[in-house]
Amino acid sequence: MKLLFRKTFYFHFQNLLFASGRNTTFLCCRVDKVERHGTVPLVSGVFTHQVWSSYHAESHFLLWFQKNFLSLDKDFQVTWYLSWSPCPACAKQVADFLAVHRNVSLTIFSARLYYFWDPEFRDGLHRLFEKGARVAIMSPKDFENCWEGFVFNEGRDFRPWDNMVENYQSLRITLQEILRYPMERLFRKTFYFHFQNRLYASRRNTTFLCYRVDREERPGTVSLARGVWRNQVHPTCHAELRFLSWFQSNMLCPNKDFQVTWYLSWSPCPNCAKQVADFLAAHRNVSLTILTARLYYFWDQKFRNGLRSLSEEGARVAIMSPQDFKNCWEDFVWNKGWNFTPRFNVGRNYQLLASRLEEILGPHS
């Protein structure tokens, strides 16, 4: 589809906070090729649901783009104007595509947010953002640009509707809350998959760090904050270093003592271990407990030395026990009131990993 009819655009792109009767997503796209001194426009058009094949507009675009334009030796800038933000399945598919094709940059302007209160839909937008997509709400200027570039407007000017600016501001604030870091909690499937405590775990290329920060007071401790970090893709920054940067900017104070607890899906890499150990050496008022679901490259001496350096600087490093998994589930997962269900030999794997860690941290490892 080359252009939208005016009535279609006005109805389906109206930026209502809650919109009924709009069960179709329209995707207006522009593809540019990146050259040395700028960009060259390649194509623009409109995609929508393929009813007969059940493809959503985003999936339809990806198939078309890969078939007609994608090339490993060229860089592309892709811009989308969407009537609805992507569903979780489309968000995952697009994020996976961006992770594989680093030569494609994607900007997503969305008129509305689809099920923005649902953790799974929020997690999908997070995933896109993490993989390098720029995700934004369509501004009044974006609606005007879309009208001029993708609507059969017969030369007529774009007419803003009532409350366009107010709705834009509300949706923009909501999206900022969704994309903010740290995250509040994990989705249940994410937790069960990424925190599974196997000795050898494939396809788990992301580290999740669930944290709790307490301040020590004379009678006990005061809870300050909790949340979830994950690896950042652009620019690359591991979860541990993201936490340190945030903690130093928002919490750290030289005349107060802090207790920090981490639940990690993977133990730290050597570089993160060194930076965290250096931080602990410089800030003796911070105590750190690291509870990890799995050991990352536990047979590699550099990774083993990294764990030892953390222990030597005062960090308590331990394997997550069945009780720790339960605690993490209750505090850091959108569990909808469901109880934690142990899976895949949690107790036996805990004993095996604890023995490995004891060997690593021992004096003769």
**CB-based burial label for 113 (10 Å; 0-12, 13-18, 19+):** buried
CA–CA separation, 11 and 335 (whole Å): 37
Region label for 295, one of left (φ > 0), alpha (ψ between -120 and 50) or beta (otherwise): beta
Strands (E), 48-173: 75-82, 104-110, 134-137, 151-152
Can you tell me whether residue 154 is helix, strand or coil?
Answer: coil
Give the CA count within 13 Å in the CB-facing half-sphere of 145: 15
CA–CA separation, 266 and 205 (whole Å): 9
CA–CA separation, 115 and 191 (whole Å): 21
Contacts of 171 (CB under 8 A, 6+ apart): 15, 17, 112, 113, 137
Q: Which of 144, 240, 313, 358 is catalytic?
A: 240
Quickly count: other Cβ atoms within 10 Å of residue 260's Cβ.
Answer: 21
CA–CA separation, 262 and 270 (whole Å): 17
Whether residue 240 lies in the annotated active site:
yes
Here the tokens at position 25 are 């997503």
CA–CA separation, 226 and 259 (whole Å): 12
Q: Which residues are catalytic?
A: 240
